[in-house]
Structure 1
């Protein structure tokens, strides 16, 4: 159970930490340092600091810092302050005291230069923590790990070389705990900046000395600028190449191609100043110079550095050799750059870092896939920044969610390196990191952690000693752990390891790794959010599609829905039972992708089912859908076409009705691809069905077509995503579909599987809906029909014929109810319809009773008043059937009713109707 540090500050928290308890309320850098100190095996009462006499007391850092230390000593004169300057190892080079008298009372470790305050020796302290955190730090009282420092406080900040970015040393203020003041942070920061400026000035003075040596050598003043008509763009190209020549620190020549087909030769050679500063000068050679080179028989190759002849006088102090020539004038040669090799190497490295960042902006985030984006980061960093890269992400991020606690449930997402046998946990493995590891420290602190030497990184080794030794055996020696931060959210960790280059990672490498990780984190966050939205839309899409089909015997169906790689679209399908054992098959496609397309798809599918319930023919269903889409577009866009709100834009639909009693199929389409018809003999055809305009355009009628389908035929309905593929033409896709369907004996489920394997594009750009239906025919022995004139006297004869047929079918149990129901329907047709009358019984999953006449007037169910002589027949029909309705035909109408094949508990439905339910006649 954690303890929150109270008013006693870190004192109590430190005691609980040393007892091995979890501590809350302590600053992350301090807690991390405590954990590292404990993992190093340090004891609070026994932190012995090593002493070294190997101090560079006359180096660049001391020369640059001396005047700044003088000013600080004067500023804090008389105060209980001590100012110390340490080198990059943490060894104190010099100490200054505001009150020299108080220094005499201090033990040598606090007053004498030479003691090393690195964290691995002294635990948590200002100098050691500044080197570990590589930034300004404060340590107060009990935050120190060593007992002897409990009464003190300190502020420390790294001092960097402005050119290389490397930490040259640490400036540290020590003072009593009660003297802590945020103003000291400003003072120490400005002091460190002053030292860094002096380091830069020192480098500039060295370069100026080299320039003077060059000018003395060329025997003219001032330096000649680049001649020969070179412009600013040419100068940039030459300076970039010259920087590489300076970094090589040798005599060489290289030909540089300039825009317009021009060529200039760069010559580099060493030069030494009078004070002994060694550098390199790079000149541009023009025509007179090239003629001189040709006379000596020297080859100059484009892009390849060659040793030029020694045509110049030696550096000052050396005697000139006989026969040497020194050309004069800007038309012969012009100075391009002069500098030290080390500075040149920094410039080359900086340019390469910029090139890497520029390339990363185009190569990271090419897809909206979280894992792929993480891999692109690793591929960019290897080998130009690191030799191995691992990326760890919480499972929530991989799912597309925002991580509640990124330090928990981490999974290794990517492992990439210069060798396949990477000595790291493999991808897909779950990680359980200790708080002392650089990875978890960077994640919890939200800052990049640099471990220059993994061999001494106790927290990293303590995570898994056996695995750490295996990694070190592969010469992996340096690590940068970077949190993947986007919009203030930690999405994971990117770890960069170095093995081949013996030099450890530096601050410039850390800055580059952080910049790469920041760019990748934004792309990963975009991919994560897309993944979440894609999953939400896909869930919505699946919820709006049929979860199962109603029971019916007309067709045997199977289906597939395949979302596009780029996003969920608006494809849909449906199977709708109709009256008279018929069935409607529907596929549709809403143009576009995303939430809007999926929602629109749901609206259209619901509307299609509602229109189907009206028993309308296919062309009329499409007409109603067309009107609906046009109305939805107007409602969403409003009256302003420039409102920025887009409507449905377009939708297509194919509507098919199959009748198993006649085996005829009626279909119409609105801008949709025609279906495939597979005959029982294996013949596959794509019927010439009138196209019709897409839904929402209006103004044009839809046409129907009819086809006879023998039993066992297959109807294959699909959306255009099945055939549209950037890697193949449309005709090829159609032939692939034809070949996949030419197996009529195969069940529809197997047909779906075959089409998915052989026809579906490898990377579908659009979603795909596929519906396969194999037709069945209703046994003619289960169909009975009678044609009657409009004569009331014939109703009784129909009842007798119906009873006989029901007995033959074994449906005596429902005979009485069926007789009563048919009597009402026939009587209604005789009284209100137009003859002749046709009565039909269909024995399928239910018993369907149909009465057709030539009138277009449909009956309506109503409550009859007590004084009405009629109006009760349809009430009885509704009570005796499980469903009833009216279907219009070309020459009249059909009133139909479906009766269940079994009565509940063996009782007649008619017997359950009380007299109170039927108003008195």
Structure 2
């Protein structure tokens, strides 16, 4: 505080030649000193009695001419030899004098001649040359502030009326000082306000606090219209400090202001780009990205922003919307500030989003036609370009006095171009993601069953949760495969890894299982064939990459569980390759995990797979799942199996509800660190009302007996329309078994969604369908049978084989 006070005291703007402070000599008509002021004695050190009566030329010598006389006391030293020449200040004389203590002084003098009677003829005023130079510098500074400074300076009295302003303020006000002197500050800037947080908003309140407290306000931001440029909003950096006279009386407040609109606008635009980089593109969604762009730009950059995209962009494709014919676009986003009326905005749809077209000649149409920016009045249209094509356009509109200051200058156009370019990259990324996700979902629909076929053997429900949320696919799979004799194949598998690579491997395995299962291969044999396939694929990859087969992830990480359920015998035969065993829930609620031999994971080779045959009461529940359901980082498999058993034992009438309960209990929030597949199966039984079986001797008469039995049972079932064809089928199959196989023979009819006819024998040789020559006496029976049925095939078992056929049931 003492330094501030000292600086204030030194800031004396009285001139050094002022008679109140300068050394003053009074001379008579012969230039003899007749008066000697105290300031003169202080400056030169001589008392009046040593000076009065002497001629002035005796002690003041011009620097330009050597002194003619030297006082005995050494008062004057004329012409110091060897010193550089001294240039006098303009309009003043420069003299050299020696202080009484011996040091030399350069004095600047001014003379005022007197008129009238009396001895006094003139007054000579002298001051130290350096002090005069300081004073001249201060005068130059004040002159520069008043006429040359780009800062606006104004002085207001205690009633907040304008007293004085410099040239910069006059330019800002658009009027000379004479026309605005005496006007109130708030009348000069009627709609302005301070926007610096924590300070008053009005000019008068700020000035009042400065006058009352004496504390200055520095760098307050004032926002308003410049009187000389109405309609355009400016921003000033203002400072205010109290003014006092020499007696300490407050007579007003000084304001200095500097227009920082351009600097503020530039900084705001930089901040806008930084904010856009932070907020635009936070998701891989085209619509959300367009909305983020509009949210960032309104109201900081424009009062209205509309983002229009080509319809193909929303589908993940790359269009090119430029050309002479403006295409129809989709309004992806529209944001406006409260300051702008958008009721007559060209092309605007009724809602926030929807189709939009622009008339010929509109800025949007011209931008689409040319592929470039179009600026028209307060509207700026910028194309969204990425990947070599135009994705759409962005329209910016500024209203008068809005956040965008009403017009688009060169800098604003550059910012809009950069802003749209950045948004285009994010929208293009979202478009690419949409395309890739669509492809992934299409792959998922192909690889996983979307609708499991209904059948009489089991009731099913399923859930699939991939870890890779981006692609929506993973390495786990499940399937339900209809087999001959109303049986059903149940499969669940797991391929190590996530994403498309694991999904593609899973797809090959699932396709292979679906191809092998209808061949009625036992589960252990099917897994062996699958193991050979995976091992061969791993070896092929190893040969191609020059690595060992054991290093292949698929070879070491693919597991599978395959089961076959027969609703007639209620028996389930299952085998697994390194997979978790299924959970079995009896109708009473007892849960068990069958002691099914584990078997090695697929692809290792060299180790056998074993089957387990269990009988399931009708209404039993089978749960087939992958380890992602029961294993987690904070939970081991045993704990997960225990939880799964508890939930399954509680039971529910709906398998869909039970699936939801299992997932919510074991995977809270639906999140999983590993792909998860769950298949719930409730078994059914086909009893004697739907199944008829007979034993026949391996004799020629067996064919006739088969026709009688078939006709009688079909009549009981109300299937009279199928009697003739079924008699023919049964007779032919039995005849073939008698001729080419071994007894005993077994005939079975199953009335299900189709009519199944089976003939089993002890032979292991399957019949082959062939075309008979014209001179062949036989060989046409199986060909005729194939024309009468929907499908037919051979199923092998330990005791032999069974030839089966399926016929469609009559309507109704």
TM-score by length of 2: 0.55
| 2:309 partner SS | strand
Q: Does 1:436 align with 2:361?
A: yes
Q: Superposed, which structure 2 residues align to 1:386-535 within 5 Å?
A: 386-405=302-321, 407-417=326-336, 425=349, 426-453=351-378, 479-498=379-398, 500-501=402-403, 503-504=405-406, 505-535=408-438
Question: In structure 1, what is the equivalent of residue 479 of structure 2?
Answer: 574
Distance 1:631 1:686 in 2: 32
Question: In structure 2, what is the equivalent of residue 371 of structure 1?
Answer: 287
Distance 1:740 1:439 in 2: 62
Distance 1:715 1:422 in 2: 62
- Per-residue CA deviations over 1:292-347 (Å, capped at 9, x if unaligned) read xxxx999999x999999989xx9xxx99999xxxxxxxxxxxxxxxx9944x6544
Deviation, structure 1 residue 428:
2.2
Q: 2:802 aligns with which of 872, 878, 896?
A: 896
Distance 1:760 1:304 in 2: 53
Q: Does 1:627 align with 2:532?
A: yes
| 2:381 partner SS | strand
2:591–2:645: 8 Å Cα contact kept in structure 1? no
Distance 1:248 1:798 in 2: 121
| 1:435 partner SS | coil
1:566–1:765: 8 Å Cα contact kept in structure 2? no
Distance 1:616 1:527 in 2: 47
Deviation, structure 1 residue 841:
1.9
Q: Superposed, which structure 2 residues align to 1:211-230 within 5 Å?
A: none
Q: 1:851 aligns with which of 750, 753, 760?
A: 760
- Per-residue CA deviations over 1:575-595 (Å, capped at 9, x if unaligned) read 322233311123445556666
901 and 447 in structure 1: CA distance in 2 versus 1, 3 angstrom threshold = closer
Q: 1:640 aligns with which of 545, 554, 568?
A: 545
1:822–1:849: 8 Å Cα contact kept in structure 2? no
Deviation, structure 1 residue 484:
0.9
Distance 2:755 2:246 in 1: 117
- Per-residue CA deviations over 1:678-703 (Å, capped at 9, x if unaligned) read 65456777767666555445565545
Q: Does 1:385 align with 2:292?
A: no
Question: In structure 2, what is the equivalent of residue 76 of structure 1?
Answer: none
Deviation, structure 1 residue 486:
0.6
Deviation, structure 1 residue 704:
4.3
Distance 2:614 2:771 in 1: 45
Distance 1:321 1:827 in 2: 140
Deviation, structure 1 residue 885:
5.0
Which runs of no fewer than 5 residues in structure 1 stay unpaired? 1-212, 220-245, 251-271, 279-295, 323-338, 454-478, 832-836, 905-921
Question: In structure 1, what is the equivalent of residue 567 of structure 2?
Answer: 660
Distance 2:337 2:447 in 1: 48
Question: In structure 2, what is the equivalent of residue 818 of structure 1?
Answer: 730
- Per-residue CA deviations over 1:620-664 (Å, capped at 9, x if unaligned) read 323322332333344356432589x99868544432211112212
The CA RMSD measured in Å over matched residues stands at: 5.9
| 2:714 partner SS | coil
- Per-residue CA deviations over 1:248-303 (Å, capped at 9, x if unaligned) read 999xxxxxxxxxxxxxxxxxxxxx9999999xxxxxxxxxxxxxxxxx999999x9
Distance 1:397 1:340 in 2: 51
Deviation, structure 1 residue 555:
2.6
1:861–1:874: 8 Å Cα contact kept in structure 2? no
Question: In structure 2, what is the equivalent of residue 778 of structure 1?
Answer: 686
716 and 360 in structure 1: CA distance in 2 versus 1, 3 angstrom threshold = farther
Distance 2:584 2:309 in 1: 50
Higher helix share: 1
887 and 902 in structure 1: CA distance in 2 versus 1, 3 angstrom threshold = closer
Question: In structure 2, what is the equivalent of residue 839 of structure 1?
Answer: 746
728 and 703 in structure 1: CA distance in 2 versus 1, 3 angstrom threshold = same
Deviation, structure 1 residue 394:
1.8
Distance 1:509 1:736 in 2: 62
1:569–1:592: 8 Å Cα contact kept in structure 2? no
Question: In structure 1, what is the equivalent of residue 276 of structure 2?
Answer: 360
2:328–2:355: 8 Å Cα contact kept in structure 1? yes
Deviation, structure 1 residue 817:
4.3
Distance 1:416 1:548 in 2: 43
Distance 1:885 1:247 in 2: 100
567 and 803 in structure 1: CA distance in 2 versus 1, 3 angstrom threshold = same
Higher strand share: 2
Deviation, structure 1 residue 525:
1.3
Q: Which moves more between the two structures, 821-830 or 417-426?
A: 417-426
Distance 1:691 1:358 in 2: 58
1:676–1:716: 8 Å Cα contact kept in structure 2? yes
Q: Does 1:830 align with 2:733?
A: no
Which runs of no fewer than 5 residues in structure 2 stay unpaired? 1-133, 141-149, 155-165, 173-212, 223-236, 249-255, 716-722
534 and 851 in structure 1: CA distance in 2 versus 1, 3 angstrom threshold = same
2:749–2:757: 8 Å Cα contact kept in structure 1? yes
TM-score by length of 1: 0.49
248 and 849 in structure 1: CA distance in 2 versus 1, 3 angstrom threshold = farther
Deviation, structure 1 residue 366:
3.0
368 and 781 in structure 1: CA distance in 2 versus 1, 3 angstrom threshold = same
| 1:580 partner SS | helix
Q: 2:699 aligns with which of 763, 774, 795?
A: 795
| 2:439 partner SS | helix
Distance 1:721 1:526 in 2: 31
Distance 1:514 1:561 in 2: 45
439 and 865 in structure 1: CA distance in 2 versus 1, 3 angstrom threshold = closer
Distance 1:481 1:733 in 2: 61
- Per-residue CA deviations over 1:455-479 (Å, capped at 9, x if unaligned) read xxxxxxxxxxxxxxxxxxxxxxxx4
